[in-house]
Amino acid sequence: MKTWLTYHVQALRLVLSRFLNNKLSTFLICLSIGVTLALPATAYLILDNLNGLVSNIKSESKLSVFLQANHDDATVKKIEAQLKQNPAIRNVVFVSKEEALAQLKAVDANKSLLDSLSNNPLPDAFFIEPKALDAESIESLKNEISKIDRVETVLVDGAWIKRLNYLLQLGQKALLLLTSLLGFALIMVIGNTIRMQVLTQQAEIELSQLIGATTSFIRRPFLYLGALYGLGGGILAALITWLIIVLLNQTVTQLAASYKADFKLLVHHSLAPLVLLLIASLIGLVAAYFSVQPVTKKA
């Protein structure tokens, strides 16, 4: 066990010494990896925040229940009692036609038009907040309310949220495709870099094979090299992503404030940077493994 650890420490020291001797080229390689990884990482954070925003908006979606014109106060109270007793409904708010008309008159653009009307054309209405926000539950609740006596129309206000969800799903699929392509590109970039290292040290490798070095001994430094390239790229990717989010938030918060909202891009998962580093290191390790296979075969 001690010998095994010694071999790994020696390989790691060898790779680190080469990094220090080639600081500029190492930094440029890690920077190219970091920039490539920062693109899908930033896109993922934006989509994740948009998903959270849509979830918050869903909690504000309501069903609008409009009553028929001819009814009395007892009918209103009866319908309100039925709605409040429904286990699928979280909250019920009644707005009379007089209140609705007053709210419209409060808008200056509509005041002159509404004053010219001889009677109130607006219906009494209930605004309902459902407990379950999935499409099937809302549709079932809508059909149930529509069967109540004196209910004329039931409208669902959150139809646009469904369209937004479809767009987010499309974005997630596009992100998956982009991540796969960039991951393949990174494997090729790191693999070619490792392959160049193998070619420059070909004489040293052949000499090691002649004196009895095992394939694991020959391959180990290159595997560490690939993993450290990935790790360095992952660190730079995390920094670049953080910088992009900070810059975007300067505009996002101003935009949200114009709508009287408090919203900014956040990293919802505390382990996200560690996951990014792990993925980057794994990509580097995989690229290095396939790049040194010819060396293993010769041995």
State mean pLDDT over 103-130: 71
What is the fold, at CATH topology level, of the domain defined by 62-157? Answer: Alpha-Beta Plaits (3.30.70)
* Residue range 225-249, pLDDT digits in tens: 889 999 999 999 999 999 999 998 8
264: number of CA atoms within 13 Å, CB side? 13
Domain ranges of the chain: 2-57+162-298, 62-157
Residue with more model confidence, 264 or 162: 264
Residue with more model confidence, 207 or 57: 207
* Residue range 12-32, pLDDT digits in tens: 787 888 788 888 888 998 999
The pLDDT of residue 299: 47
Instruction: Concatenate the DSSP letters of all residues of 49-98 into one string.
Output: HHHHHHHHHHTT--EEEEEPSS--HHHHHHHHHHHHH-TTEEEEEEE-HH
pLDDT at 185 over 90: no
Which tokens go with 233? 């790229």
The pLDDT of residue 178: 86
State mean pLDDT over 164-193: 84
The pLDDT of residue 162: 67
Torsion 75-145-134-253 (CA) sign: negative
The pLDDT of residue 137: 80
Which residue is it, tokens 């920062």? 38
pLDDT at 39 over 80: yes
- The secondary structure of residue 277, as a DSSP letter, is H
State mean pLDDT over 151-169: 74
d(CA 83, CA 90): 10
Query: Which of 80-84, 121-125, 213-217, 258-262 tops mean pLDDT?
Result: 80-84
The pLDDT of residue 278: 93
Using N-to-C axis directions, what is the helix angle for 215-258 and 23-58, rounded to 10°?
40
CA distances from 83 to 77, 147, 188, 296 (A): 10, 12, 62, 73
